[in-house]
Structure 1
Amino acid sequence: MRGHDWINTCLPDELVVEIFRRLDSKRSRDACSLVCRRWLRLERLTRATIRIGATGSPDLFVHLLSTRFSNVTNVHIDERLSISLPVHLQGRRRGVENSSASSLKLNYLNVNNGSEEGDLDSLCLSDVGLAALGDGFPKLEKLSLIWCSNVTSDGLASLAQKCSSLKALDLQGCYVGDQGLSAVGQCCKQLEDLNLRFCEGLTDKGLIELALGVGKSLKSLGVAACAKITDSSMEAVGSHCISLETLSLDSEFIHNQGVLAVAEGCPQLKVLKLQCINVTDDALEAVGASCLSLELLALYSFQRFTDKGLCAIGNGCKKLRNLTLSDCYFLSDKGLESIATGCKELTHLEINGCHNIGTLGIESVGRSCQRLTELSLLYCQRIGDVGLLQVGEGCKFLQALHLVDCSNLGDAAMRGIAIGCSNLKKLHIRRCYEIGTKGIVAVGEHCKSLTDLSIRFCDRVGDEALIAIADGCSLHYLNVSGCHQIGDAGVIAIARGCPQLCYLDVSVLQNLGDLAMAELGENCPLLKEIVLSHCRQITDVGLAHLVKRCTMLESCHMVYCSGITSAGVATVVSSCPNIKKVLVEKWKVSQRTKRRAGSIISYLCVDL
C-alpha cells in the first residue's frame, strides 16, 4: 500500500545490516544512510575501516568517531595528509572522495605555511587521542599511525592494554620509545604485522622485549632509519620469531650478524627486503642455505656483495618468484644467470642501475624463466636487442615490460617482444631513443591485449605508431609525453579507436591542437585524467570541445599552454561536475573561478 513503510516494519535490524554489508559501493551505502535515522544508525554498524587525515582537533575528532562507529576494526591515521583550519575558518570542500564500501575517508584543506609551531602541535594526534581510540574501538585489529609525532610511549602503552586483539600496527614516523613497544609485546599477543620505519626513539631494548612477547605470532617486521636498532635486535628476532615471513631492513647499523641470525632462525621467511650497506656475501649465502621458502627478494644499494651471494640465492631459493636488484654495482651476468637457471619459478624481475649486468644476463632469463610475467630494466646501458629477443622467444606469458634509459635497445627488440609476447598488457618506455615508430607499430599489430601504454620522450615515435595501436588495441591508459613527432593524426586515431580511454598525457607535444581535443571529447566519454601541459597549440576552443562530453573528467593539467586563457579554465571548472584537480598558472584563474572552485585549483608557480 502506498505510503506504508514495509521495510522498517517487517525487517529486523540484523537483516537490514546484512543488506547494507552487501552493497558494492560507498555511494550506495551513504545514500541508504540518509533515508532515515534507523538506517543511519544501522549503516554505521557496518563500517569496518576509518581513514583520517590531519584535523583541527584530532583527539576530539577520534572521540566523536568512536561514538558513531562502534564496530570499526581498522583505523588508519596519516598526519602527512593536509592539516585543516578550524571549521569556522574555512569553506566547505567540494566533492567527496570515493572509497571502498567499508571505508570512511576524511580529507581536509591545507593550512597556511605561516602557522606557528605551537599551533601545528595542537593539530596533531596526542596520547589523549590514543586513549579515545582504545576506549572507543576495543575490537581494533589494525592500526596505522603515520607521522603522528605527538604520540608517546604512554599513549601507546594505554592503547595496547585496551586493544589486546591488535594484529597489525604501523608506527611509521612516530617518536615512541621502548616502553610503549614493550607494552605492545606484553599485551598484544596476536600481533602479526609491525612497521617501525623512521621510529627514531626506539632502541634494541624495546624491539627485544617485543620479540620476547609476540615472537610466536609475529609474521611481518619492517625497520628503517632506526639508528639505535642494531644486530642485537635481529638476533632476538631470529631467536624468538619463528613464524616470521616478511622482513624489511633499511639500516647502516645492521651487519652480517643480524641477517645471519634471522636467516637461520626464521625458516618460514618468504619476503626479504634489504638496504643495508654493511651486509656482505656471507649473509646472502646464509639466506640461500636456510630460507628455502623465500619467494621475494629485494636488494637495494648493495656495494659489498658480488655474484657469490646471488649464486647462493639461485642454488638454494628454488621458490623465488620476485627479484629486485637496485644499484648493486658489483653484480654481473654470472649472478643473474645463476638466478635464471636456479629459480625457474621467477615471475617478476626488476634490474635498476646494475651497470655490470648486460645482454648475456637477460638472455639467460629469456631461456630459463618461462613463467616471467613482468620485467623492468631501468638504466641498463649494457643490455642490447639480443637480450630482449630471447625474452620474446622464451617468456610467452610476459604481461608487463618497463624500460627506462636503455640506450642500446631499439626497434628489433620491440618487434621481438611484440611477436613473442602476445599477452602483453602493459608497456612503459622512457627515454629509450633508439625505439621508434616501427617497434611500436609491431606492438599494435601483435599485442591485442595491451591496455596500458607509456612511451615518454621517445623522439623517434610518430603518428603511425599510435594509428597502429588504435587499430589493434583498446587502451585505457596512454602517455606520450615528449614524443615530438606525434600530433593530431595520432591522437585522433587513439580517440576513435580507444573509447575506453581513462588517462591521457600528451604534454610537451608541440604539434597537437584543437582538432585532437574535439575528437577526444566526442569519442572518449570515460576520460578521467588528462595532462596538456606545454601544448602551445591547444586553445580555449579545444578545451570547450573536450569537456563537452567528457563529464567524468576529474583532473586536468594545463600549465604553460599559451593558447589557454582564464575563459578556458572557467569552462573546465563549470562543465565537469566531477572535477577534483586543475593545475594551471595562478594568473589564469579569475576571481569568479576562485570563488566557485578554489579548493580544486593547484598552481605550479605562485607569486613569481
Structure 2
Amino acid sequence: MFWGTPVQKRSAVDKVEKRPNTAPLLTISSAKKHKFDPFEKKIKNPNHSSSLQKFSKVRVDGNERIFSGSLGIKTNSRPKTIGTELTPNKKRKDNLLLIGGPQFDQPPISSIRAHDEDERVSRGKLFPVNLCICSYEMSAEGDIFRKFSNKHVIGTPVDIIDMSNWDVTDSTLQLVSRIAPQCTDLSCPKNDKVTDKGFVEFFFRTTLVSKVDISGTPFITDSTIETLAKCCKQLKELNMSACFRMTDDSLAALGENSASLRVLYASECPLLADNGLIALSRGCRKLVNVDFSYCPLLTDRGLRGLVNRSFDLTQVKCNGNEIIDCSLFRVPALGQEMSCNLFISCQVRSFILQGCAEIDDEKLSWLGQACMQLKSLDISNCPLITSVGVDALSASCTQLEALNIIGYGKVIDYAICGLAQKCPGIRALDLAGHEILSDMSVSFVISSCLRLNYLNLSGLSNISDTTFVPSAEIAQEMEHLKGTPEYLRSVRDPLRSLHLTDVFNLSDASLGAIGILYSRLHVLDISNCHMITSAGIAKMCKFCTALKSLSANYCPRITDKAINYICRRCIDIETLCLSARKNTASCNKISNKSLKKLLANCLKLKVLEMKNRLKLTGADIKEIAAIDLRSITLAGCTNMKPMGVAKLALGCPKLFHINISRCKNLPRKFVDELYRVRIPYCE
C-alpha cells in the first residue's frame, strides 16, 4: 500500500521507471522477500569491486543454484578453478600464462611476472561464507571443487576453514567468526587486505582454534598474536612466517599463554630477537618443531635457551642466519681455556642450518658431540666446513639418515668414505658441488649405503662409469644366490631420486648399471651429460619402468629413438625435459614424430619441455591422450605452426602454461585468439 496523494504516487512510479541500468546488483524481484545481507551496504557503492558485486549477486540468487565451487558458470562448462575471477562482460587474458615471441608488441617478461604476482595475491573473489556450513572435497591438485563431503552435514558449521585461494577482508573474518564459532583450523595466508581488526574479532569469538596459518600477511602486528594467545588456549600449531611487523612481544605472549604450542613457524620476521626466544621457551615447554630462518637478529644465546628448556624439541630450522655459528653448545670451564659441550644428550633430531656461514669444523664437532642421536643435518653453503668437520660429525652421529653438504668442493674422499662406513643407514645424501670427490668415495657410498632413497651427485665431474658398473655386476652375480643369507644382506632399498647433472664422463654403461641397481627409480636427472646417447636411455628404460620424471636437457646425442623407448617402457612418466642448446646440431635430432608419440602414449604427462627443437611443427598432432598436461615449453621452436599450438591448447583442458617465445611463425593475431579461446569457465 502506498501512503500519499495520487500526484506523489505517480512521481514515485516515474522515478522507478527512469532508474538507470546500473542499479545495485542486490536489487531483487518483487516476488522475493528481501533478506538481510551483511554485504548489502558495500554492494550499493558503485565504486566497489566487480568481483564483490558478482559474489553478492550469486549470494542473493543462491537458492536457485547451489554453490559448489563455481559462481556464475554455465551448466555445461567445467568446474571453476578457484583462483580465476569471473567477469562475464569483460574477457580476461590471464587465465592462461602464455609467453609470446619477442617479435610481438607485448610487455616484457618482468611486467608479466609482476602481473602474475598481483593476480596471485589478489585472487579476484571474496571468500564465500557459505563454505562455513558446506564442506567440499577438492581435486588432488587442490584447485577444483569436486563434490560435497560425505563426512559433513550440510548446514552445520565446519571445523576447518581454508581461505588460501580467496580474497579476505576484515569484514569477511568478522562474519565467519559468527557463522562458525566452533572452528579449530584456520588457514588465511598471503592476504594483504586483512588487518588486526579482523583477526582480533575472529580469535575472540573462535576460542577452540588449535591450528592457525596467517603467513605472509603484512599488515598484522603483535595485537593479533596477543589476542590469539589469550583467547585460544588450545593452540598447537602456528605459522606466522613473513609477518614483518611481529616483534618479541608476540613470542612473549605465546610463552605466557600458549603452553600447548608444539609447532611454530616464524621465518622471515626480521624484528624477532633473542629476548623473545627466551620468553617463548619459558612457557612453551612442549615445542617439537620451530623455524626461525632469515631472522637476522637471532644469535646462539636465544637458541640455547630454547633448546635447553624444550625437552620435546626435535627439529630446529635456522636457514640464512649468518650470526648463528653453533656456539650454543660451548661452555667455557672456569679458570681454563678449554671448553666442553653444553648437552651430553641433546634431544634435537634435525638441524637445518643452510647458509650459516660462521659454522666451521670445530663448532660442527661440538654439534656432533651434543646431538649424538641426530638424524638429519643440512649444512649446505657453509664455506668454512671441510673434511675434518664432516669426519668428526660422522664419528659422533652414527644414526645419521640425511646429510646435505652442498658446498664449494672442500670435502675430499676420505671424509665421504668414513661417512659411508660409520653411518650405513643413511637415506638421503647430497654431495653436489664437491668437484674433488672421485670414483673411489662415491662407489664406496653406493656399495655400503644400501638404504639410500635420495642421492645428488651433480657437478662431480671426476666420477665416471667405474662408479656404478662394478656394483651393478656384483648385483647381477648375487641374483644367483637368491634366498641365501648373503643375498638378503645385499638387498637394497629402492632409490627414488638420483641427480647426475654436469657429470661429463658418464656414458651409456652407467645408465644401464643404474637401471640394474635402482629399478624402482622415480626421478632421474642427467642434464648436460654429453656422452649419453639414445642407447643409454634404452638400457635405463628397460629396467626403470616406474620412472616419473626424466630430465635430459642439453644431452646432444639423444634422438627420436630415445623418445620411442620412453613411450614404450615408461608410460607413467609425468615430467619430461629434452631441451637442446641453442644453435647446435642437436636442435635437429628430435622431430615432430616424437612429440606426436608423447602426446598419444604418455597418459600421465604433466610437464613437457622441449626448447630449441627446430623440427617441431605440431602439424601432425592428431590424438592427444595426455589430458593432464599442465605446462609445455616450446621456446625457440622456430618452425612451430599455429595449428599445432592450437591443437595443444584445445586438446589439453588443464593446460595453464605455454612458453612459445622465439616462435617466429606465430603471428600476433593468433596469440590474441589463443588467449580468447583459452578463457575457460566464463559465461
1:128 aligns with 2:171: yes
Supply the AA of the counterpart residue of 1:283.
L
- Asked whether 1:279 is paired with 2:324, we answer yes
1:478 aligns with: 550
Alignment of 1:112-511 (within 5 A): 125-174=168-217, 175-214=219-258, 216-250=259-293, 251-275=295-319, 276-285=321-330, 289=343, 292-415=346-469, 423-474=494-545, 475-508=547-580, 510=587, 511=589
**In 1, Cα distance between the equivalents of 2:364 and 2:552?**
37
CA distance in 2, matches of 1:54, 1:190: 35
Structure 1 residues 589 and 427, CA gap change in structure 2 (3 angstroms): farther
Higher strand fraction: Structure 1 or Structure 2?
Answer: 1
Structure that is richer in helix per residue = 1
**Matched residues in 2 for 1:59 and 1:564: separation?**
33
Which whole-Å deviations, capped at 9, do the CAs of 1:325-353 have from their partners, x for residues lacking one? 12111112222223323333322222222
SS at match of 1:569: helix
| Cα gap change, 1:268 to 1:516, in 2 (>3 Å) | same
User: Displacement of 1:267 after TM fit?
Assistant: 1.7
Instruction: Please give the per-residue CA displacement for 1:84-114, whole angstroms capped at 9, x wherever unaligned.
Output: xxxxxxxxxxx96478986999999xxxxxx
- Shift in CA distance, 469/73, structure 1 to aligned 2, threshold 3 Å: closer
Tell me by how many angstroms 1:184 deviates. Answer: 0.9
2:82–2:143: 8 Å Cα contact kept in structure 1? no
> Which piece of structure 1 moves more, 577-586 or 191-200?
577-586
Of 465-474 and 352-361, more deviation after overlay is shown by 352-361
3-state SS of paired residue (2:639): coil
What's 1:537 paired with? 615
Q: 1:56–1:501: structure 2 CA closer, same or farther, 3 Å change rule?
A: closer
Q: CA 1:163/1:265 → structure 2, altered by over 3 Å: closer, same or farther? A: same
- Give the unaligned 5+ runs of structure 2: 1-62, 71-80, 88-121, 150-159, 332-340, 476-491, 581-585
Aligned position for 1:4: none
TM-score normalised over the length of structure 2:
0.69
User: Deviation per CA, 1:536-578, whole angstroms, max 9, x where unpaired?
Assistant: 1222245x15x44434434322121022111110121233344
Structure 1 partner of 2:22: none
Alpha-carbon deviation of 1:281? Answer: 3.3
Show the 5 A alignment for 1:27-106: 53=83, 65-70=128-133, 97=144
Distance in 2, matches of 1:365 and 1:74, equals 46
Distance 1:254 1:417 in 2: 47
Which amino acid counterpart does residue 239 of structure 1 have in structure 2? R
> Amino acid of the residue matched to residue 136 of structure 1?
I
1:573 aligned residue (609, 624, 649)? 649
Is the 1:400–1:426 Cα contact (8 Å) retained in structure 2? yes
Which of 621, 624, 633 aligns to 1:557? It is 633
Which runs of no fewer than 5 residues in structure 1 stay unpaired? 1-36, 45-50, 76-94, 109-122, 602-608
- Distance in 1 (CA, whole Å) between partners of 2:197 and 2:626 is 52
Distance 1:335 1:227 in 2: 30
TM-aligned CA deviation for residue 270 of structure 1:
0.4
The C-alpha deviation readout for 1:134-186, integer Å capped at 9, x for no partner, is 22332322223323223222222111111212122223222211222111110
Separation of aligned partners in 1, 2:143 and 2:212: 28
Q: Deviations over 1:202-235 (max 9, x none)?
A: 2212221222110x11111222332321110011
* 2:652 maps to amino acid: C
- Tell me the CA shift for residue 371 of structure 1: 1.8
Partner of 1:85: none
Aligned counterparts of 1:446 and 1:356: Cα–Cα separation in 2: 29
Larger RCO (CA under 8 A, 6+ residues apart): 2
CA contact (8 A) 1:145 1:170 kept: yes
Aligned residue pair count: 524
Determine whether 1:517 maps to 2:589. Answer: no
Matched residue SS, 1:146: coil
Letter in 1 for 2:593: L
Q: Is the 8 A contact 2:552 2:577 kept in 1?
A: yes
* Equivalent pair of 2:349/2:374 in contact (CA under 8 Å): yes
Q: CA deviation at 1:236?
A: 0.7
SS of the aligned residue for 2:359 comes to: coil
One-letter amino acid of the counterpart of residue 289, structure 1: F
- Shift of the 132–357 alpha-carbon distance from structure 1 to 2, 3 Å rule, reads farther
Shift in alpha-carbon separation, 1:566–1:41, aligned structure 2, 3 A: closer
Of the structure 1 ranges 513-522 and 437-446, higher mean CA displacement relative to structure 2 is found in 513-522
State which structure, 1 or 2, has the greater radius of gyration over its C-alpha atoms: 2
State the 1:298 CA deviation: 0.7
The alignment partner of 2:414 has SS state of: helix
Q: Which deviates more, 414-423 or 270-279? A: 414-423
**C-alpha spacing 1:548/1:42, structure 2 compared with 1 (3 Å):** closer
Question: Which stretch shows the higher mean deviation, 198-207 or 228-237?
Answer: 198-207
Q: Normalising to structure 1: TM-score of the pair?
A: 0.77
Single out whichever of 533-542 and 391-400 deviates more from structure 2.
533-542
Identity across matched positions, percent: 20
* SS at structure 1 position matched to 2:391: helix
2:82–2:144 contact (8 Å) kept in structure 1 = no
State the AA in 1 paired with 2:659.
L
Q: SS of the counterpart of 1:456?
A: coil
Amino acid aligned to 1:505: C
Matched residues in 1 for 2:275 and 2:296: separation? 14
Q: How has the CA–CA distance of structure 1 residues 513 and 41 changed in structure 2, closer, same or farther, with 3 Å as cutoff?
A: closer
Aligned twin of 1:605 = none
Structure 2 match to 1:80: none
Question: RMSD of aligned C-alpha atoms?
Answer: 3.7
- 1:273-296 Cα distance to aligned partner (Å, 9 max, x none): 113211233214589727733222
Quick check: 313-322 or 417-426, which moved more?
A: 417-426
Q: 1:183 to 1:365 in 2, by over 3 A?
A: same
2:281 match: secondary structure: helix
**How far apart, CA to CA, are the structure 1 residues paired with 2:369 and 2:181?**
48
- Measure the CA separation in 1 of the matches of 2:656 and 2:592: 23
Q: Distance in 1 between matches of 2:126 and 2:652?
A: 34
| Aligned-partner residue type, residue 632 of structure 2 | C
